[in-house]
């Protein structure tokens, strides 16, 4: 009895919810409006069936509920009725399938004029490669990938003018079809931009692809949609759809493979001169100074130092009003003229002997060790840092510095700037530290780490 009314209410309620729900398809930004149409067709047809079957069910329950004076009919089968139902269902299914296959036909045929962009996924970040003047991407080989050759470029001359985009931000020209070639360095990933509708997995060992034509200018977030490990949820990037002229300018700014090969080796001696102004706070040997809250620099890898100095210089770090120490640091970073100066300085600092942190004053290192399981994926089991994940070394950093930075990440004081993708990632990850105690615990564990396996 009640059940029949509940079925009716749920059925109608579901329809109302469909209409009033605050969650709809994201605003479309590509040519795949046809996908939206197939969704709407499917929703209409299935919605009609949903309402019809369930209302009939409810009516049947109301009409034929048990009465002692009544007997059920005995009808084993009804060929006509069953035949009609089968026929109508088959027609309905065909009506759903036909447009689906039609659109899929378009999806699998990439237009001739589409330009190519390679999307490279790895745990847990994105990078991109675009062909240069020759319109052709150079051949790559996963076995050649290392820190100096992050794309695994071979000696293929076609690759010399390839534009390498290391930061997870891609620009696409509006109105031009693009074929996205998807490649993974390690595990499965999926390049999903909800507004584009189209998506595809990245599979190591092969190149998969799909195509689209961006139609709406704007910034769209890329989310990884295939489980790829602990930081899956924090593997984001941005795609910006811009006018073709803007795209050309941006593309020309990106370094080519030839630039990458020809980059000057950093010069530690030149860096030594720059270090003079750092030494006052960070110490002559980069040992840091707790009294003025200057962290040690010794032991930090050049790629990390360069990135942070670049962020300070650009104002992506050290500009938040609550980041007092960062604000102090920023003018010093601005004294460095260009990327070469930063690289030289970083190379000089890399020569310092790492320091050992003294054990933390607060926190429970045993509880911290359990939390650190997750951190270890990017920062290394012994806090040694992993360049591939852009996770810096933690061993040797003092407790007061770690606690402050983790609190800043947690509160979005550090890392929330749009130009700081890995900072954003750390903000997401730091959410696992739910309170001050958790922060102190994990820091207590980190200060026991020595960057190597031995105890």
Residue 246 C-beta: closest distance to other proteins, Å: 20
Q: What is the 3-state secondary structure (H, E, C) of 290-332?
A: HHHCECCCCCCCHHHHHHHHHHHHHCCCCCCCCCHHHHHHHHH
Give 374 or 448: the residue with its C-beta nearer to other proteins.
374
**DSSP per position, 341-357:** HHHHHHHHHTTSPP-PP
| Binding residue for other proteins, selected from 21, 148, 265, 291, defined by CB under 8 A | 21
> Minimum distance between the CB of residue 389 and other proteins, rounded to whole angstroms?
6
Site for other proteins in 333-372 (CB under 8 A): 371
Let me know if 288 is exposed, middle or buried by CB neighbors in 10 A (0-12, 13-18, 19+).
Answer: buried
Find the binding residues for other proteins in span 222-261 (CB under 8 A): 223-234, 236
Looking at the Cβ atoms of 108 and 262, the one nearer to other proteins is 108
Which part of the chain contacts other proteins (CB under 8 A), choosing from 168-176, 198-206, 274-282, 339-347? 198-206
Rounded Cα distance, 6 and 128, in Å: 53
Site for other proteins, residues 44 to 73, rule: CB under 8 A: 45-46, 49-50, 53-54, 56-57, 60-61, 64-67, 70-73
- Provide the token pair at 339: 């990327």
Q: What CA–CA distance (Å, rounded) separates 323 from 309? A: 16
Binding pattern for the stretch 410-429 against other proteins, x by CB under 8 A and - elsewhere: ------x----------xxx
- Residues 111-140 binding other proteins (CB under 8 A) are 122-124
- For residues 270 and 369, which CB has a smaller minimum distance to other proteins in the complex? 369
Measured CA to CA, the distance from residue 409 to residue 327 in angstroms comes to 16
* Binding letters toward other proteins, positions 172-191, x by CB under 8 A: ----------x-xxxxx-x-
Q: Is 128 helix (H, G, I), strand (E, B) or coil?
A: strand
Binding mask 93-112 for other proteins (x = CB under 8 A): x--xx-xxx-xxx-xx----
| Contacts for 176 with CB less than 8 Å, ≥ 6 apart | 113, 114, 115, 213, 214, 244
Q: If binding is defined by CB under 8 A, does position 30 make contact with other proteins?
A: no
Radius of gyration (C-alpha) of the chain in whole angstroms: 29
E strands, 251-302, in order:
none
Q: Rounded to whole angstroms, how far apart are CA atoms 128 and 254?
A: 11
Alpha-carbon distance of 296 to 4, in angstroms, equals 71
How near is the Cβ of 92 to other proteins at its closest, in Å?
9
Question: Smallest gap, in angstroms, from Cβ of residue 188 to other proteins?
Answer: 6
* Minimum CB distance to other proteins, residue 394 (Å): 15
Tell whether residue 217 is a contact of other proteins (CB under 8 A).
Answer: no
């Amino acid at each position: 009895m009640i059940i029949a009314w509940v079925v009716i209410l749920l059925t109608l309620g579901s329809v109302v919810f469909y209409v009033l729900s605050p969650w709809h398809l994201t605003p479309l930004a590509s040519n795949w409006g046809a996908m939206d149409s197939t969704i709407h067709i499917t929703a209409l047809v299935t919605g009609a069936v949903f309402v019809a079957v369930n209302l009939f069910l409810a009516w049947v329950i109301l009409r034929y509920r048990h009465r002692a004076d009544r007997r059920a009919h005995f009808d084993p089968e009804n060929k006509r009725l069953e035949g009609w139902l089968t026929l109508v269902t088959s027609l309905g299914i065909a009506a759903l399938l036909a447009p689906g296959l039609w659109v899929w036909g378009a999806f699998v045929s990439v237009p001739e004029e589409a330009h190519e962009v390679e999307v490279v996924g790895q745990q847990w970040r994105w990078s991109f490669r675009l062909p240069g003047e020759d319109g052709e991407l150079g051949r790559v080989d996963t076995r050649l990938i290392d820190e100096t050759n992050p794309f695994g470029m071979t000696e293929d001359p076609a690759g010399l003018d390839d534009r390498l985009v290391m930061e997870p931000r891609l620009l696409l020209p509006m109105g031009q079809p693009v074929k996205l070639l998807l490649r993974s360095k390690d595990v499965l990933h999926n390049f999903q931009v909800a507004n584009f509708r189209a998506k595809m997995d990245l599979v190591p060992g092969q190149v998969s692809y799909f195509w689209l034509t961006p139609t709406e200018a704007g910034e769209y977030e890329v989310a990884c949609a295939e489980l790829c490990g602990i930081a899956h949820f924090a593997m984001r990037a941005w795609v910006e759809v811009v006018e073709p002229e803007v795209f050309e300018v941006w593309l020309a700014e990106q370094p080519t493979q030839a630039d990458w090969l020809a980059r000057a080796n950093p010069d530690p001696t030149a860096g030594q001169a720059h270090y003079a102004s750092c030494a006052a706070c960070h110490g002559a040997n980069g040992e840091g100074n707790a009294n003025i809250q200057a962290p040690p620099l010794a032991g930090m890898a050049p790629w990390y130092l360069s990135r942070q100095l670049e962020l300070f210089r650009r104002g992506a770090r050290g500009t938040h009003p609550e980041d007092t120490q960062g604000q102090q640091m920023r003018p010093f970073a601005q004294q460095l003229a260009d990327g070469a100066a930063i690289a030289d300085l970083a190379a000089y600092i890399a020569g310092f002997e790492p320091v050992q942190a003294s054990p933390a004053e607060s926190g429970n290192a045993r509880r911290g060790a359990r939390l650190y399981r997750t951190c270890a994926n990017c920062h290394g089991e012994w806090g040694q840092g992993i360049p591939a994940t852009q996770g810096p070394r933690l061993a040797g950093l003092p407790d007061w510095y770690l606690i402050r930075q983790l609190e800043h990440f947690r509160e979005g004081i550090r890392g929330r700037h749009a130009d700081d993708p890995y900072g954003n990632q750390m903000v997401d990850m730091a959410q696992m530290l739910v309170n001050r105690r958790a922060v102190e615990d994990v820091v207590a564990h980190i200060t026991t780490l020595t960057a190597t396996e031995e105890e």
